[in-house]
Structure 1
Amino acid sequence: MHKSHSLAAAAAIVAISALALAACSSGGEAAPSGSGEPATGDPIVVGALSGLTFFPEAPQAVQAVFDDYNAAGGLNGQPIEYTVYDDKTDPAASATAAQDALSSGAVALVGGSSLLDCAVNHTTWEENGIVSIQGTGVDPYCFATPNIAPTNTGPFFDTFATLYYGSETLGFDNICAVMVPDEAASKAAYEQAIAAWGDATGKELAYLDTSLVRGQASYAGNVSNLKSQDCDAIYMNEVGDAVIALLGEASNQGISLPFLVLTSCYSDQFAASAAYSGDIYLPAEWAPYGDTSIEGVQEWADTMDGHGVPKTSFSQGGYLAAEYFIDILESIDGDVTRESFTAAAQGMTEEIPSPMAQAPYIFGAGEFHQPNNTAYPVVLRGGTSEWESLGPLLEGDDLGWVYTTVPAS
């Protein structure tokens, strides 16, 4: 069993109606759950905070699951009404979005994916008795506070896993790192993850550059400094286009060393854009999305294709968050309210299995939660545009992983 450890104008609201049909009569006759008739009863209101610039797929995947659920009858004829609040990756907008979500009457938060939601709003969730099943937890408060339990492993375990695979399986002795330290809590969490890797392997970074800032204009200086080091691989904790930009600069300066990156790069779009001559390794947080031979992956892929949602690691997280929410929802005896859902989530004693997740999910009681600490290594070979599954599955509890903590408030 895996352990459960369990920040101006109003934020722009992206309202995504999860009602399968446009007509939704609050007093209509309810269709039985799973009856095959679209749900038309009183909606069950659910919300999410996401940085839609960075993570659009996770809430889209949640929507897809809820659309299918509503079309099949919902919960005893009650449809799920889902609204996503764009936190714009801005602390003030995030805090406002949190209040909007609470004012909507949401019974829970599902599939949120944000660089700062947990850090900004975790105390708000606690004070208002609402739980969040994150689709993509990023900042350390997602993994170290009582009312949030992400589906994903997060960047800190990803850091541990990609470094571990690099040193222990690939045999890299001199791993250099270029990092965005972000705020103090994230900096400490990255340091904790790197220390856990060092304790587990007896290795240490050969070089560490923590001067990166999110979205900086040029990486020429960083790459020039890397060239002067004796590196046999490079670790980087940036996301998306920033990684593409640094890889481009590395190529410009004649570097073709292997890169060890995080799961945020795991997408077909990244693979098509990287154009790098060296290998790029990362830890998939769930079963590799391209391997439909693994139980559960084909069902997820069919759902994404059926709703036009890109198949990425982020959409895996959103899909699982919605599935877990429904599982908990259907365990409630009586009216579905914020109070009853929170009680059901925090009262969980049995894990929810999912082959695609590789690790079962549980919210449960506790002051902090990290139900998922597994990773499956994949690689984008130099000069190619398709990910290759490598394995074996890495399980943090077996490798010396230390659960993420945050500074005492």
Structure 2
Amino acid sequence: MFRNVQGSNVLFAGLVASCLVASPACSLAQGKSKPIPIGAVSTLSGPFTFPEATAAAAAVFDRVNAQGGVGGRMIKYLVEDDKLDPGAATQAARRLVDNEGVYVNVGSASLLECTANANFYKERGVYSIQGTGVDPACFSTSNISPVNTGPYTGLVISLYFASEVLGHKKVCSFATGNAVQQPGWRLAMERYIRITGKQLTLDERNVGNTDDMSSFVLKAKKAGCDAAVFVGIEPQVVSWVQAAKAQNIAGVTWIFLTPAYTEKVAEVLAKDGEGIYANSEFEPFLTPSPVLEDWNRLMREKHVPLTSFSEGGYLAATVIVDVLKSIKGDITRETVAQALRNLHSYQTPLIGTPYAVGDGDKHSSNSSSKFVRLVGGKWEVATPDFVRLPN
């Protein structure tokens, strides 16, 4: 703890001697050496996994520790796998909070963790800076604040982009039929209508995970959609575009959410995907943007895949490191929670609106996106500036 400080051996010897009589100096030395425990509950096994988010957060914390930690205290990062199971998610959170005594969760990425643990975090006074928020509870509870836009606000922004930026008149929406997501889709539709004063030509919320996409692209054609937003994950997006080509559907602007924005989608679709759009919740990662320089270098150094998920984990970890450094006095679960309640406007060029936690009963501060377009088999930035929803 005292390395590279002139006279440190004498100081350390004095502190050791003081500890023999349980002096305040002993408590100070012990406090300085105690790690700062930070947790995460993510889906790391099963059909849908998000390992990049916690891997990116770990990379940030490793670098901080290599530089001497925060106030001389190392960060101890503890990651639990919820196995895409609510029961496992609940047990994981209790191990971290009650057994390990984590001060905060950072970089979690899961399809169900927020719903499973939101009330527990509130009861224990623990906050979670979600690297990738997915289920509705991530954005509608007091102690969880994701850094990403998420599927619900992402849907609103994408519909807004279709009608207000691209100027399409007949805009359609296709959302998945998962029961847990239905409240989120409903609120998204209400928000879009409230912001624009416009009704959708078609509002479909019943796309199954294994459904044939042909029936839905034909619905879009029959409804006369000028533009259609589909919230599907990567394989569904590929199937959607291939089905549209097989049905010879032309003249519809297809817009997808962040899961479509990958090198694999561009590679598989190639010319078949010419002109499709995707929503990027952060600064688009497949670009040479100077905003991404540090993230890019760190992820490559630590062999973390360059994805939107790793952007979320990196940003969540960067936020908490800055919060920890801002705390005057002892860093504890209580002082971390208070610092997060005071966090109302964290500025970062990685997202288009300031990140916040604050003391509200719900959190969805990232209400912006950039849009990318597939041109010649490569993703290109279509909106140099973030598209932001009006307040």
Using the size of structure 1 for normalisation, the TM-score is 0.81
Which residue of 2 is the match for residue 175 of structure 1?
A: 171
Which residue of 2 is the match for residue 372 of structure 1?
A: 366
Contact 2:238 2:269 in 1 (8 A): yes
Which residue of 2 is the match for residue 37 of structure 1?
A: none
Contact 1:32 1:76 in 2 (8 A): no
Partner residue of 1:387 out of 377, 380, 384? 380
Q: In 2 relative to 1, CA 372–250 (structure 1 residues): closer, same or farther, beyond 3 Å?
A: same
Matched, 1:83 2:78: yes
Q: CA deviation at 1:170?
A: 1.6
Contact 2:213 2:236 in 1 (8 A): no
Which residue of 2 is the match for residue 95 of structure 1?
A: 90
Q: In 2 relative to 1, CA 361–178 (structure 1 residues): closer, same or farther, beyond 3 Å?
A: closer
Mapping of residues 23-38 of structure 1, within 5 Å: 29=1
Contact 1:30 1:41 in 2 (8 A): no
- SS at 1:119 equivalent: helix
Which residue of 1 is the match for residue 217 of structure 2?
A: 223
Q: CA deviation at 1:247?
A: 2.4
Aligned-partner residue type, residue 155 of structure 2:
T
Give the distance between the partners of 2:380 and 2:84, measured in 1 at CA.
Answer: 29
Give per-residue Cα distances to partners, 1:31-71, cap 9 Å, x unaligned.
589xxxxxx94322211111233322111110111111111
Q: Which moved further from structure 2: 253-262 or 165-174?
A: 253-262
Q: Which moved further from structure 2: 324-333 or 367-376?
A: 367-376
Matched, 1:201 2:196: yes
Structure 1 residue runs of 4+, over 4 Å off? 30-33
Contact 1:378 1:391 in 2 (8 A): no
Which residue of 1 is the match for residue 294 of structure 2?
A: 299
Q: In 2 relative to 1, CA 195–359 (structure 1 residues): closer, same or farther, beyond 3 Å?
A: same
- SS at 2:76 equivalent: strand
- SS at 1:156 equivalent: helix
Matched, 1:250 2:244: yes
Q: CA deviation at 1:168?
A: 1.8
Give per-residue Cα distances to partners, 1:146-172, cap 9 Å, x unaligned.
111111121111111111111122222
Q: In 2 relative to 1, CA 392–111 (structure 1 residues): closer, same or farther, beyond 3 Å?
A: same
Aligned-partner residue type, residue 280 of structure 1:
I
Contact 2:136 2:183 in 1 (8 A): no
Q: CA deviation at 1:194?
A: 2.0
- SS at 1:77 equivalent: coil
Matched, 1:48 2:40: yes
Give per-residue Cα distances to partners, 1:58-108, cap 9 Å, x unaligned.
111101111111111112332212122122222222222222222222111
Give the distance between the partners of 1:85 and 1:270, measured in 2 at CA.
Answer: 29
Q: Which moved further from structure 2: 89-98 or 200-209?
A: 200-209
Give the distance between the partners of 2:341 and 2:69, measured in 1 at CA.
Answer: 23
Give the distance between the partners of 2:285 and 2:268, measured in 1 at CA.
Answer: 18
Contact 1:267 1:311 in 2 (8 A): no
Aligned-partner residue type, residue 352 of structure 1:
Y
Aligned-partner residue type, residue 139 of structure 1:
D
Q: In 2 relative to 1, CA 30–345 (structure 1 residues): closer, same or farther, beyond 3 Å?
A: farther
Contact 1:30 1:78 in 2 (8 A): no
Matched, 1:134 2:126: no
Aligned-partner residue type, residue 122 of structure 1:
A
Q: Which has the higher contact order (CA 8 A, sep 6+)?
A: 1
Q: In 2 relative to 1, CA 370–179 (structure 1 residues): closer, same or farther, beyond 3 Å?
A: closer
Give per-residue Cα distances to partners, 1:335-382, cap 9 Å, x unaligned.
332222112212335x3221222322232222222222122222223x
Which residue of 1 is the match for residue 22 of structure 2?
A: none
Contact 2:130 2:144 in 1 (8 A): yes
Mapping of residues 324-343 of structure 1, within 5 Å: 324-343=319-338
Contact 2:128 2:145 in 1 (8 A): yes
- SS at 2:173 equivalent: strand
Give the distance between the partners of 2:141 and 2:2, measured in 1 at CA.
Answer: 37
Q: In 2 relative to 1, CA 187–74 (structure 1 residues): closer, same or farther, beyond 3 Å?
A: same
Matched, 1:234 2:228: yes
RMSD: 2.4
Give the distance between the partners of 1:128 and 1:203, measured in 2 at CA.
Answer: 42
Contact 2:273 2:374 in 1 (8 A): no
Give the distance between the partners of 1:101 and 1:253, measured in 2 at CA.
Answer: 51
Which residue of 2 is the match for residue 259 of structure 1?
A: 254
Q: CA deviation at 1:30?
A: 5.1
Contact 1:360 1:372 in 2 (8 A): yes
Q: Which moved further from structure 2: 65-74 or 192-201?
A: 192-201
Mapping of residues 11-26 of structure 1, within 5 Å: none
Contact 1:108 1:130 in 2 (8 A): yes
Higher Rg of the two aligned structures: 2
Using the size of structure 2 for normalisation, the TM-score is 0.84
Which residue of 2 is the match for residue 58 of structure 1?
A: 53
Give the distance between the partners of 2:354 and 2:125, measured in 1 at CA.
Answer: 24
Give per-residue Cα distances to partners, 1:7-40, cap 9 Å, x unaligned.
xxxxxxxxxxxxxxxxxxxxxx35589xxxxxx9
Contact 2:278 2:371 in 1 (8 A): yes
Which residue of 1 is the match for residue 119 of structure 2?
A: 123
Partner residue of 1:272 out of 263, 267, 270? 267
Which residue of 2 is the match for residue 10 of structure 1?
A: none
Which residue of 2 is the match for residue 322 of structure 1?
A: 317
Give the distance between the partners of 1:30 and 1:371, measured in 2 at CA.
Answer: 40
Contact 1:126 1:146 in 2 (8 A): yes
Give the distance between the partners of 2:3 and 2:95, measured in 1 at CA.
Answer: 30
